[in-house]
Structure 1
Amino acid sequence: MKSYETEPQEKVDSTVGGERLYEPSSQIPEYKPPFRESLLNWAPFWGVILLGAILRFWGLGDKPLHHDESLHAYFSLQLLHNMESWLSCFNPNVSCYHYDPLLHGPFQFHFIALVYKISQLVGAPDNGVNTTTVRILAATLGTLIVGLPYFLRDYLGKWGALLACFLLAVSPGMVYFSRFAREDIYMACFTLLLVVSVARYIRDRKIRWLLLAALAFSLSYATKEATFLTVAVFGSFLGALIAWEIGVTLPLRSKFNPETAPWYLPRTAAPIALLLYVVVLGAVAKFFFGWLKALSIYVTDPKNTPAADLYVQGLKDRTVEIVPWLGILLGCYVLFILGREMFGHYHPAGRRGLAAKVDPQRQPVLDTILTMPWTHWFFAILVAWTVFLVLFTVLFTNIKNGIGDGIWQGLYYWIQQQQVARGSQPWYYYLLLMPLYEQIGVVFGLVGVVRCLVRPTRFRLFLVYWFVGNLFLYSWAAEKMPWLSIHITMPMLLLAAIGLEPAVVILVNLVKKSLSRSSAKGEGVFAGFTAVFGVVMAVLLLLPTLHNMYEVDYVHAADGPHEMYVYVQTTTDVNVIMAKIDALDQKMYNGKHLLPIGLMNDATWPFAWYVRDYTNVCFNYPEGCSTTAKSYPVIISGGDNLYNAETQYAGPGKNYLFNQYHMRTWWDEGYKPPPCVPTKTDKCTDQPPWGGVGVGLWLSYGDNPPRGAQFNPGLAVQHIWQWWWQRRAIGDTGGSYDMALFIQKGLGETP
C-alpha cells in the first residue's frame, strides 16, 4: 500500500500538478527564467487578476449601502474625524472610536478611514466619502484573493493555480462579497494569505513568509472573531500532522516476519498515532462544545450576566497587568541571545536536541518548528503584536482598555451570540445556498476532494480538511448568514481547481501535440476522451455560474426577493428618498445641507450615513428635539413605528404629506423546517416557534404548498431552472421592512 508520508519531496508531475513539500533552498540553486519566459508565465495570471478587478470595481457604488455597511461607513468616518484631532482622543472625557465586537474588529474602520483620506487627497467626489470609497477596501482585498493562488504553483501546479485564480475571480459569492463593505472578505483574504505564507515558509524557510503569516493572522484577528474558528480548523490539522510525523519514524511492519505479518499492519506507527490523536481530539471536542453551549446559556441568562461581565472585566485587568511583564521577559531573552553572540558564544553548527532526532525529509513540519531560527519567531511575534497593539488601541489612544478588549471582549461577545442565533437558519443552510450559485465550484470541488483523497499530499489533505472543517463549523455555529459562506466557498474553489486540472492539462497537451504535428507518444484515447468530457462539463457548469454572478452582482444586487445571497438588503428606494431630500434642500437652502430632518429611531440605519452631510438632523425624533419637532419639514420613519407615525403626522387635518417605501427586502425563507408543535413528549425546548414548510416542499411549491403535498423532484428542478435563467423567485417576493417619508405641505415637493 503506497504511503504518502514517505514522499515529502515528490516530484511535480506536469500532468497532475503535484507538490514539493520541502526542499532546502541550499540544495537547489534559484533559477531565473529569461524575461520572455517569465512574461509568458505571468501574463495569464495578470489577465485573470485584471478580470477579477474589473468584476469587483465596475459600478462599485451603484448599490445602496446595506444596514451593516452603513454602520461600518459611518463609524469609519467618525474615526477619520477622531484622527484629525488625534491628541484629543487621549482625553478619557472625549468620545472617540473604541473597539466594539458588535461591529467586529477594528481593522476595517482604520483602513476604510484611510481610504477616505486618500480619496480626499486625490479629489474624489463628496470629499472622498461616498458609497464607492466605502467599498474600495473590500474590492481591493477581494482582488488580492484572486492573485494569491499564484504563489501556490508548487502545490497546485501551474494550471491548477491558474484555474484557482479564475474560479475565485468569477465566483458569484466571492465577487458579490468583494463588492460589500463587510469584514468577511477581509478575513477571507487574510486567511488565504496565511495559508499561502505558511505553505511557502515550510518549503523555502525564508523569513519573509513567516512575517507575512504573522501579519495575516494578526490582521484576521483584528478583523473578525470568527478567526477563532480558523484557529480551531488549522490548529487541529497541525496537531494531526505532528502526530503523523511523530509516528512516521517508528517502524512497525519491519519488526514482524513478512510472511506472518497481518495485512492490515502499517509500515510505521503514523496511522496509529493519527488514530489516537483523532480519538482524543474527538473526546475533547465533544466536551468542549458541550461546555461552550452551557457557558453561552449561563452568560446570557439575565441573572448571571452581571457576574459574567464582572468576571470578564477581571480577566481584562489581569491581562493588562501581565502583558508588559511578558514583553519584558521576551526582551530579556532576546538580549541574552544577542549578548552571547556579541561575545562570540555562538551555538555549535549542526543539529542538537530534539532537532537532531528529526528527519527533514519525512518530518518537514516538525523540522520547520524545531530548526526555526530565533530571529524568525521573534520578528513574527513582533509583527503580530504591533498590528494588534496599533489597531485595538486605536493608534495608542486607548491602550489599557484596547489590550483587554482585544483579547477577551471579542471572545466573550462570540460566546454570547451562540444563543442569539442571528438569522435562525437551519443546519443545511449552506448546502442549499451554495449549489444555487456555485455550480462549477460545487461539482468540481467534490471531484477535487476525491482526487485529493486518492492521490494525497499533505497540502491536498489540508485543503479537504479546511473545506470540510469550515462547512461543519459554520453549519454548527448559531449565526448563519450568506456572507459567511465565502469561508466555505474559498477552499472549495481551490479543491475545484485540483479536480479540474488533470482534464485541462491533458487537453492542452493534446492541442499542443496537434498543432505541432508531433509524433511523440501522448495521452491515451481514454485519457483524452475523459479530459474532453471533463472540460465540456466544466464549460457547461461555468455558464450558469457566470450567469448567477452577473445577475446577483449587476442586475439584482439590491433585490433581496430574487437573490438568496442578498440578505435583508437596503433597496434603491433609499436613493429615491435622498433625491427628494436633496431637491428640497436645493430649493430651500441652495444645496447647503441645512434642511432640518427628523430621523426616527427605526430609520437611523442606513440614514445616519446618508444624511451625514446635513447639519440639522434630529436623531431619535421627536424626543431628540421635542421643543422644535413640529417645525421640521422632513421626517423619516421606519417600519417599527410606521402606522403610528402616519396617524400622528399625515392623518386627516395633519400637516404632512406621506409616502411609504421599502427600506429592506429579503428572500423567502420557506425552506426552513416547519415550526415545532409541542406535544407531551416533545416540549420544543430551544426551538423557534416559527419556520417554513421544509426545503423539499419549498423547492416544489414555494412557501404555500397544497395540503398533503409531497416533495416533487420534477417541480423542484423546474423551479431551480427557472430561477437560474429567468430569476423567477422561489416562494413569496413580498417580504419587506418599510419606511415612510413625510414632507410638510406647501413646500412644493411630494414624498
Structure 2
Amino acid sequence: MRIAARTSSGEGGALADFPMLRNQLDAWRTRLAETGWTPWLILGLAVFLRFFLLGIKPPHFDEGINGWFVDQMMKNGFYKYDPTNYHGPLHFYVLLLSQTLFGRNVWALRLPVVLVSISCVWLTFKFEPFVGRAVSRMAALAMAVSPGFVFYGRYSIHEVWLVLFSMLFILGLLGLWKAGTPDYLWCAGMGLAGMILTKETYIIHVGCAALAVPVLVASNRLHRLPDAPPAKQTWDYVDLAFVISVGAAAIIFFYSGTFFHWSGVKGLYQFYQAWFATGHEGHGHEKEAYNLIWKDHSWINYYWIALIARYEWPVLGGLTLCLFCQRFKNISLRYLAIYGVGTL
C-alpha cells in the first residue's frame, strides 16, 4: 500500500502539524512586540553585557592617559584645556567625580562610560514616535549587543559621550520638526552643548545634520512624503534664550576650568588650526586598508568598512537600506538615512 508523500508549505512548515502550537507562538510574538517589558529586556541585556567582568581587561593606553589627566586635576584643582588634545573637558570632570566617590580603580574609571552607553540604548526607544516601535526596538537591540559599542561602552573614552549627545541632538531636531514643543528644543540645545563639551569632532555631526536638510528637500521633491510639512512651533524666544543661556553657561564653566583657566575658553576656536593640521598630516591616527575580506588594498578593506562587514551585520544592513532611502515613506527615517551615510 503506497502512502502519499506529505506536503509542506513555506508558510506552515513543520508547525502546520501543530496548529495550536503555531497559534501560541504567534500570540507570544505579538505580545512580546506589544508589551511594555520588551524595552526593559533589551536594557537588561545591555546592562549585563557592559557590567559583566568589567574589570577583567587591563587599562588601555587611552584610559591611562585619561586617568593621568584626572590626577593632574587633583593637583591643580581644575582641568587645563589644551586644544591640541582634541578632547573636551566634560569626561575628565565626570571621571574626577567617579573616582572621588568610588576610589581610584578601574571600575570607577569605566563606570561613567558604562552608564552613558546604557543611556544610549535607552535613548533609542525615544525615537519611537518618529520611526515607529519596531524600528526603534530593533535599533536598541542592535546597539545593546553590538560588539563595537559594547567594547567602547566598557572603555573609559570620550566617544560614547559623543554618541549620546549626538543622539539627543538629532532627537531634538526630529521632535522640533514633528511636534515643535519646548521639550525637543531643550533636547537639541543640550545635545549640541554636550557635543561641544565632549569632542571637537562635534562639528562633523552638526555639519552632516545641516547638509542632510537640503538633500532631504531634494529627495522630497523627487518623491513627496505625506508627513513632510513641519509642525507648528509652540516654544517662544524666552524658551530659546533659556536653552542658549544654559548651554553657554555649561560650556564656559567647563572650558574655563571652572573659572580658574579662562584661556581655555579660547580653545573653542583655537582647536580648528591644530585639528586641520592633524586631518591633513595624520599624526599616527591613519586607518590603513587591511586584507580582511577580499583582495589586497581593495576599497572594501578600508578599516571601518571591513570591520563593519565582519562584525557589525546590523550596521551593515542599516547602511545598505540607507541606499534605498528614497523608498522610505517616513520623513524621519529618510533624514536619518541621509545623516547616517554622511557621518560615515
Q: Same fold (TM over 0.5)?
A: yes
For 1:221 and 1:404, locate their aligned partners in 2 and report how far apart those are by CA, in whole Å.
13
Question: After superposition, what is the alpha-carbon deviation per residue over 1:26-54, rounded to whole angstroms, capped at 9, x for unaligned?
Answer: xxxxxxxxxxx9xx743210121121011
Contact 2:171 2:187 in 1 (8 A): no
For 2:176 and 2:343, locate their aligned partners in 1 and report how far apart those are by CA, in whole Å.
24
Say yes or no: does 1:174 pair with 2:37: no
- Among 255, 261, 278, the alignment partner of 1:392 is 255
Change (3 A) 1:231 1:192: same
Say yes or no: does 1:469 pair with 2:335: no
Say yes or no: does 1:79 pair with 2:59: no
For 2:258 and 2:285, locate their aligned partners in 1 and report how far apart those are by CA, in whole Å.
34
Say yes or no: does 1:196 pair with 2:171: yes
Root-mean-square deviation over aligned CA pairs: 2.6
Matches within 5 A, 1:392-471: 392-399=255-262, 401-406=263-268, 408-421=269-282, 422-426=284-288, 428-442=302-316, 444-446=317-319, 448-449=321-322, 452-471=325-344
Task: Give the corresponding residue for 1:717.
Answer: none
Say yes or no: does 1:53 pair with 2:47: yes
- Offset, 1:470: 1.7
Question: After superposition, what is the alpha-carbon deviation per residue over 1:11-38, rounded to whole angstroms, capped at 9, x for unaligned?
Answer: xxxxxxxxxxxxxxxxxxxxxxxxxx9x
- Offset, 1:190: 0.9
Give SS of 2:126's match. helix
Contact 1:211 1:379 in 2 (8 A): no
- Among 221, 225, 230, the alignment partner of 1:364 is 230
Structure showing greater radius of gyration is 1
Say yes or no: does 1:229 pair with 2:204: yes
- Among 88, 98, 109, the alignment partner of 1:105 is 88
For 2:222 and 2:68, locate their aligned partners in 1 and report how far apart those are by CA, in whole Å.
54
The one-letter code of the counterpart of 1:375 is V
The one-letter code of the counterpart of 1:378 is A
Task: Give the corresponding residue for 2:242.
Answer: 379
Task: Give the corresponding residue for 2:13.
Answer: none
The one-letter code of the counterpart of 1:73 is G
The one-letter code of the counterpart of 1:440 is P
Change (3 A) 1:446 1:191: closer
- Among 147, 171, 180, the alignment partner of 1:205 is 180
Question: After superposition, what is the alpha-carbon deviation per residue over 1:164-197, rounded to whole angstroms, capped at 9, x for unaligned?
Answer: 1110000000000111111111101111111122
Question: After superposition, what is the alpha-carbon deviation per residue over 1:380-434, rounded to whole angstroms, capped at 9, x for unaligned?
Answer: 21122012111101111122x122112x122222111013313332472211121
Give SS of 2:198's match. coil
Task: Give the corresponding residue for 1:122.
Answer: none
Among all aligned residue pairs of Structure 1 and Structure 2, give the percentage whose two residues are the same amino acid: 24
Contact 2:319 2:341 in 1 (8 A): no
Contact 2:89 2:254 in 1 (8 A): yes
Change (3 A) 1:157 1:52: same
For 1:363 and 1:163, locate their aligned partners in 2 and report how far apart those are by CA, in whole Å.
27
- Offset, 1:199: 1.7
Task: Give the corresponding residue for 1:685.
Answer: none
Task: Give the corresponding residue for 1:165.
Answer: 140
Change (3 A) 1:170 1:44: same
Change (3 A) 1:46 1:432: same
Contact 1:80 1:114 in 2 (8 A): no
- Offset, 1:376: 2.4
Change (3 A) 1:441 1:271: closer
Give SS of 2:59's match. coil
For 1:465 and 1:376, locate their aligned partners in 2 and report how far apart those are by CA, in whole Å.
29
- Offset, 1:447: 5.2
Give SS of 2:81's match. coil
Gaps of 5+ in 2: 1-30, 289-298
Question: After superposition, what is the alpha-carbon deviation per residue over 1:255-313, rounded to whole angstroms, capped at 9, x for unaligned?
Answer: xxxxxxxxxxxxxxx459x9xxxxxxxxxxxxxxxxxxxxxxxxxxxxxxxxxxxxxxx
Matches within 5 A, 1:254-333: 270=221
For 2:286 and 2:267, locate their aligned partners in 1 and report how far apart those are by CA, in whole Å.
28
Task: Give the corresponding residue for 1:149.
Answer: 124
For 1:117 and 1:178, locate their aligned partners in 2 and report how far apart those are by CA, in whole Å.
21
The one-letter code of the counterpart of 2:286 is S
The one-letter code of the counterpart of 1:97 is Y
Contact 2:43 2:144 in 1 (8 A): yes
For 2:193 and 2:247, locate their aligned partners in 1 and report how far apart those are by CA, in whole Å.
5
Contact 2:113 2:157 in 1 (8 A): yes
Q: Which has the higher contact order (CA 8 A, sep 6+)?
A: 2
More helix by share: 2
Question: After superposition, what is the alpha-carbon deviation per residue over 1:620-660, rounded to whole angstroms, capped at 9, x for unaligned?
Answer: xxxxxxxxxxxxxxxxxxxxxxxxxxxxxxxxxxxxxxxxx
For 2:150 and 2:228, locate their aligned partners in 1 and report how far apart those are by CA, in whole Å.
40
TM-score, with normalisation over the residues of structure 2?
Answer: 0.79
Give SS of 1:133's match. helix
More strand by share: 1
- Among 104, 116, 130, the alignment partner of 2:99 is 116
Question: After superposition, what is the alpha-carbon deviation per residue over 1:229-258, rounded to whole angstroms, capped at 9, x for unaligned?
Answer: 1121001113445x559xx8xxxxxxxxxx
The one-letter code of the counterpart of 1:379 is F
Task: Give the corresponding residue for 2:4.
Answer: none
The one-letter code of the counterpart of 2:82 is D
- Offset, 1:75: 0.8
The one-letter code of the counterpart of 1:431 is I
TM-score, with normalisation over the residues of structure 1?
Answer: 0.37
Contact 1:150 1:162 in 2 (8 A): yes
Change (3 A) 1:396 1:61: same
